[in-house]
Every structure is written in structure tokens, then in C-alpha cells.
Chain A
């Protein structure tokens, strides 16, 4: 019989050992864990875990370095919710496993699971382009107005439409020199003049390119802000990346509830500090009659619903805040946000407070068109840089501190897609994926053995190695395995045997035609080769078309399908061939068990 080349045996062995080694880490248990970061270098033990586990009926909390690991996700989340109440620690939801060091050093890690399998939140946020344009135009209006005033040009009115701002001048001509300066100063815009009834219109049109640059800049800033906000949400390995021109993907693995993430990520909230005007009597009266009884004042509403009159002047606002932390008021023990002002904000604050001792100052929570007074306090002494704000519950104080620290988004972002899977549903999905794969494999293996006997066993060995190769490849390239990916693997299991079926049917035909066993094997493999490659390449084309859709469910499926097709081609054409040659080569075979 034709001798199977040694290098092919070696290749098969190399691929096999690769598949075994890189799929090995998946056989170690992974535990839900909490990473503890201590700010003041205390030991993890001092968290009093004994107490925690007894109080909450949590069985066995394991400790390794700064990892606490649990038997179930419920225990993990339960402990997490208790632990985050502790000050001066930071806790991160994570996963923990005991993989031997040598595996990690050769970059062999478990397959990373998609959010539908480990639970978590996926958001797609889109920047509000209209808002970017609006703020650009507000700025343009101001600049133009100042320009006309500075150059002594009088105008009747101005208006804004889709992409331009137009000023209606009194005169029907304009000094060419002024027009030149105008063009120069507003080079981002296209300046056009148009004679109109009783005067002249001057329009500044925003070019598409310049507007796109604005969006690009806003996106860059928002991306950085979202990153710093996400870092405070306490999840390990979050993903924040730009998608297309105007969207950002945020993925938060392990998070059980999207409520808080939603409030924090999309928030444009900031603070304003203003003096109050008049007395509480004035406030309720103003509300009753519908006009403000005090001049130069604005009517606001307190968190508890009561009306408040505030000064038009803002002492300091979000952009003047440099740092913020949440904690507790030293005296009352109420939750508080400690705020640090910038030097500009601080001098403004010092100036105002020293002149207004005994008066009251309000803290206004500003979010898009929603303003709310969260606290009114009497100024007892002058202060400047550092002070505290109370009047919030603990969670609100924490969230506000995060928002103030990260700065405010340069344009609002709205959630255009969300996919949240609770961790318990995630582990259910893992189980259903695993069970369906096992059942499918057992059925196929049984059938192949009954139908093709010894050759069926060879195909089954190839099938198992197929699964290992897919697992190892997914793990090595850190591709994400999703439930649809498992469906892809399950499908591959069904289709992987196809290549062998093609070969075996050919061998059977050859035997029935009266050929010798050894000759049948060789011509079976040779004749099936072109069919196998044609059939698989066409399927591969379809799978690659799937990849181009590039969205979660479909992509996960396509990735495993592509890897599956390639590996099943390899195992059938080279792998089982090697095994068959190894068994039957150099023997005078009387018959084949096929």
C-alpha cells in the first residue's frame, strides 16, 4: 500500500497537541468572584468574611490574593451588594479559576464567554448630532452678533435653519473690507450675501466636513468620559469602543441590573450653585400667582416638590468642578458628595460666600431640560475650594460623584440598542448549550459506529478532535463564544462527519466494484477529495457572508462555523487519513470494517 508521508503524521500530531493543550484550560472550574482593591493596604481578611457568610447563608467563600470566589452567582451578587456598602474598598465583579501557571504562560486561557452566557449588559449608544449642531449654532450666533456689533453694523433680526445662520441687515450694502474680515474670521463657514427687501441678508453656512469634525471631536471626548464612568461601575473587562461615526458600544460583563448603568452612562447631569432670592413665603406666593414676586429670579422646584426662587447668576457649575467623592457627613452621618472646585470656581465661590454670610445657597441638579434643587443651606462662613453637598441618598451621592468626576458629556448620548442577560439566565444558557451539544454528539457517535463500524470509530475520534480544535482556536484568538456560537458548533458536529461520510461511501463503492481493500481506501480518499473541497468552500463562502453582517448573534454563529468547516476539512482529509493509514498500511487486509 502507498506509504503515507511522515510529515503528514507529524502535522497531525502537532495539530492534535495544539488542540489538547489550548482547550485544556476550559476543563478547570471557573468561579464567580469579587476582586477587592483596598485603598489603604488592609488585608482582605479584615472584611470579616466569616460574619458575611454566616449572615447571608453563603457557603464557602474562597480567598486567593485579593480574589474572593464563590460557589454560585447568587452568592457572589449577594456578597457584592453587601460589600459595596463598605467605604475605602473598591469591588469588581469578576471570574476566577485555578489554571496552572504553565498554561497561562503559553497564553492558554479559557474561551471568553459572550454576555448571553456569563450575563451582563450590552449597550449601543448614539450621539445626538442635532444637539452638536445646535450648540455649534448657538456659538456661531453669538460670535456673529459680536462681530456685527464690534464693526458697527446694525441688524434687524437673525434666524437659523438646517445648516446656516442668517442675519438681516438694515443697510443694503456692506464694506468690502469688513466682508473680507468676516470671511477670514469665519473661515469654517461659507459666507453668502443676498440683497433683500429693504436691506441685505448675510448667511454663514456650516460645511458638512466641519460639522463632521465637530461630531468626531465630541465622540472622542464622550468616549473618554464613558470610559472613566464605566471604570467606576465595578465590572472586570468592560468593553468600550467606537462603532462607525456616531456610535459607541459599551459591554459590562457580570452586571445583573442595567438600571444603574443606564442612569450613569447616558447622563448629562451636572450641578449648579446659585443663591436663593426672597423668603419661602415669596416662593409659594410666586408659584400661586404664576409670576415671580422677586425681580431677577428664576422659579425652581425642590426635590420634595416645593417651589424655590433662585438668582439668575450661577456661582459655579459642573465645569468648575475638578474632583468629587462620595462619603458621609462628619456630624450628621448623612451621605454626602465632597466637591473640589477649580481655582476659577473657587475664587468665585469665596467672593460670593464672603459677601452673603447668613444668606442661603442652593445646589441645583441639572439634567438636560430637567432641573431640581437638591439642597438649600445657609452660608455660615465663607468657603472656596472644598465643600460638601448633602440631601441625597447613598446611591445618589455615589452616582453623582462619578458623574462629576468624569465630567459632563459634550453631547447627549442615547441608547439605541440594549441587550441585558441576567447572570442566572446566562448560566442556564451555558447548561442548555452544553447539554444539547452532548446529546447531539452522543447520537451522532452512536449512529456512526453502528453504520460504519471501525471506520465509524475513526470518524468519531476525528469528531471529538474537531470540537477540541474549535475550542482551542476560539480560546487562542480570544474570540467570544455565544449561545449562537454553540449552535454553530452543534451544527458543525452534524456536518463534520459529512466529509468522512463522503469518503466512506466512496470506499464502499470501490469495494462493491470488487477492488482490494487497500486500493479502495486510496481511491476512496482521492475521489472524495474534490467533492469535499468544493462542498466545503461553498459553505465557507456562505459563512463568510454571515460574518459581514457582523452583529452579535449572527457573528457568533459564523465564527464557529468558519472554524468548524476548516477544522473538519483538516480532520477528514489529513487526520482520519493518517489514522486509517496507520491501521491498514503495510498489511494484507482481507476486508474492511466499514
Chain B
């Protein structure tokens, strides 16, 4: 038997103040960043154009920026993308594109070099705000239906515990994107929702064991039950997080730019999710006042 984790008896309950302080700090920073700084929304949730151009010859960012601003496209960001022949341009939804479509306008701007449009994404203002609204709804519906399921399957107190861990994970993941000014687009939303599912999966496994031990180990104190349950499931928690981490890292390496933000969100979410299912979900049960069976 090859085991990373041998018989363990970590006193999680006795040190529960430490993760509590750490999480409070992380949550405070995240919430402050979200409120004050907000998100760097991608065009999915704001509106505008993203165009990826592949030139036959080398180009420089300054040169491209110069040409754009000469053609009244001042509010743009330009970056090299992959090679020195490819660039990515972000543009606002300019009035001029209603008259001349953007494809022809770009051909006019870069008429001295030949290029191909490898990617073009446009989201109109109305569609952007609709997508954002739908995203918020999906998140709320997911949280709520999960709360109901756990409350039915376990007891309400477990539902509250799982949801606190979940909200903790989601806020910190969102805070990470806000704090580091990473682009928040549809794929990141998908990742956040996946993290909701994942983090829950983790908490449920521990809760399941707590429920079981709470009945079997009648002689122990509730703290001892919680400690033992976390310790018993610790190797599973770490093994699963590790395998998931392996594939996300390979997505980051080979997945290309299109899934980069997705992978980052998943990576952060799973790290936080693993931490919270060990240190937050179960300890929160003690704060919510979990009872022994005979006390019921």
C-alpha cells in the first residue's frame, strides 16, 4: 500500500481559529477588490469587438496602435498574440462600424500589408447585459437548488455548512480575478460554476463521513468526531484534488489562449475548494452548533 497520508490525527478543531482568520482576511480583500475595483469584464459581459489578425510580415504593437488611432479608433488595446505576426485587438462598439463593417474597415486601415482575420468576436451592448444577467441567475439557481438538495438529503445545518464553504470559495475566486485584473468572460463564469460543483463535491464527502461517525462514535466528543472525519477523508480529498490539478495544469500548458482564463479560474477555485473543505466546511458545522444524535 503506497500512501501519502499515513494514520493521521491532526487536531483540526483545536486550530480552527487560524483558518478562520486567514479566510476572513482573504474574504475581506476579495470583497473590497470586487466592490472598489470591480471586474475586468470581457466583451461577453460588456460589449465590443475582439479581433485576432495574422499578418504575413512582422508587426509591432506601436505601429498597429498608431494606425488605429489615425483612423479614429483611439479606445483600443493591442497586444501581440503568440508570435510577432499575430495581434489581438480589443475595440469598443464604434459608430463607424455601423456604416462600414469592421472587416472592411480593418482592410482599409492595414491596406499596406496583407493579413487574415483569424478570429472575430462581437457582442452588442444588449446581448452583453443579457448574458451577464443570465450568468447571475445561473449562479443563484445553482446555489439555491444545491442548498435544497443537501437540506433534504442531510440536515439543514449541513446545507448551511456546505453553502458557507461554497460562498467562501466563489467570493475568493471572483476576488482573485478582480484583484489581479484578469479578464472575466463566459468561460470564467463556466469555471466558477464548475468550482461550485467541485467544492460541494468535496464538502459532501467529508459531511457524509461526519454523519456516519456521529452515529457510530457515540462516546467521543463532537470535536473528536469532526477531527476524525476530516482525517479519515483527508487522503481522498488530497488525491482527487491532485488528479484534477494534473489535468488543469495540462490544460494550462497545452490548451492555448482560449481556455487560459478558464484554467486559471479552475486552478484557483480548486485550491480554495480543497482548503475550505478541509478547514472551513467542517469547522463551520461546529459554529452552526451541530448536535450529537442523542441530543436530537
Binding site for B on A (CB under 8 A): 116, 124, 126, 256-259, 262-263, 415-422, 424-425, 428-429, 432-433, 435-437, 439-441, 443-444, 447-448, 450-453, 483-484, 487, 490-491, 493-495, 497-498, 501-502, 505, 508-509, 511, 530-531, 534-543, 545-546, 548-554, 557-558, 561, 594
Contacts and interface: CB of A to CB of B under 8 A. Distances in A.
A467 to B, nearest CB: 12
A531 B258 CA distance: 35
Contact of B127 (A417, A484, A502): A417
Given A422-B116, A491-B244, A538 B149 contact: yes
A419 B51 CA distance: 10
Contact of A494 (B116, B243, B258): B243
Nearest to A259: B103
B201 A536 contact: yes
B150 to A, nearest CB: 7
A591 B165 CA distance: 39
A363 B119 CA distance: 37
A502 B117 CA distance: 48
A327 to B, nearest CB: 26
Nearest to B98: A414
A447 B197 contact: no
Contact of B256 (A432, A448, A495): A432
B141 A545 contact: yes
B232 A444 contact: no
A436 B1 CA distance: 30
A200 B252 CA distance: 73
Given A436-B255, A484-B187, 18 more contacts: A258-B117, A263-B101, A429-B256, A444-B246, A452-B2, A484-B190, A484-B262, A494-B246, A495-B244, A498-B201, A498-B243, A498-B244, A538-B150, A539-B201, A542-B146, A546-B138, A546-B194, A549-B135
Contacts of B263: 487
A420 B126 CA distance: 19
A536 B135 CA distance: 22
B129 to A, nearest CB: 11
Contact of B204 (A444, A494, A538): A538
Contact of A538 (B103, B141, B201): B201
* Candidate in A509, A540, A553 with the most chain B CB atoms within 10 angstroms: A553
A415 B235 CA distance: 52
A450 B245 CA distance: 17
Interface in B207-234: 208-209, 232-233
Given A263-B101, A422-B118, A497 B243 contact: yes
- The 7 A-B residue pairs with the shortest CB-CB distance in the complex, in nearest-first order: A440-B247, A542-B197, A494-B244, A545-B142, A436-B254, A439-B250, A539-B197
Interface of B: 1-4, 44, 52, 54, 101, 103-104, 116-124, 126-127, 131, 134-135, 137-139, 141-142, 145-146, 149-150, 153, 185-187, 189-190, 193-194, 196-198, 200-201, 204-205, 208-209, 232-233, 235-236, 239-240, 242-248, 250-251, 253-256, 258-259, 262-263, 266
A487 B264 CA distance: 12
A536 B205 CA distance: 10
Interface of A is mostly: helix
Nearest to A531: B208
Given A257-B117, A422-B119, A487 B251 contact: yes
Contacts of B239: 451, 501, 505
Nearest to A489: B247
Contacts of B232: 509
19 contacts: A420-B121, A433-B255, A436-B255, A439-B254, A440-B251, A452-B2, A484-B262, A491-B248, A494-B244, A495-B198, A501-B240, A502-B236, A531-B204, A534-B153, A539-B201, A541-B146, A549-B138, A553-B187, A554-B190
Contacts of B141: 545, 548
B253 to A, nearest CB: 7
Contacts of A443: 246-247, 250
Nearest to A543: B197
A553 B251 contact: no
A545 B243 contact: no
Contacts of A451: 2, 4, 239
Q: Which of A116, A257, A487 has the most CB of B within 10 A?
A: A487
Contacts of A432: 254-256, 258-259
A490 B247 contact: yes
Contacts of B240: 494-495, 497-498, 501
Interface-centre pick from A416, A484, A511, A546 (highest chain B CB count, 10 A):
A546
B282 to A, nearest CB: 15
A510 to B, nearest CB: 12
Nearest to B270: A494
Contacts of A552: 186
Contacts of B235: 505
Contacts of B233: 505
Nearest to A593: B1
A468 to B, nearest CB: 17
A536 to B, nearest CB: 7
Contacts of B187: 484, 487, 553-554, 557
B196 A542 contact: yes
Contacts of A551: 131, 134, 186
A195 B247 CA distance: 76
Nearest to B189: A554
A70 to B, nearest CB: 18
B208 A534 contact: yes
Given A424-B118, A530-B208, A541-B142, A440 B250 contact: yes
Contacts of A493: 247
A546 B139 CA distance: 8
Contacts of A439: 250, 253-254
Nearest to A550: B134
Nearest to B207: A534
Contacts of B138: 545-546, 548-549, 554
A447 B127 contact: no
Contact of B186 (A256, A416, A553): A553
A494 B259 contact: no
Nearest to A247: B127
B244 A549 contact: no
B197 A483 contact: no
A422 B115 CA distance: 12
Task: Find the residue from B138, B145, B263 having the highest chain A CB count within 10 A.
Answer: B138
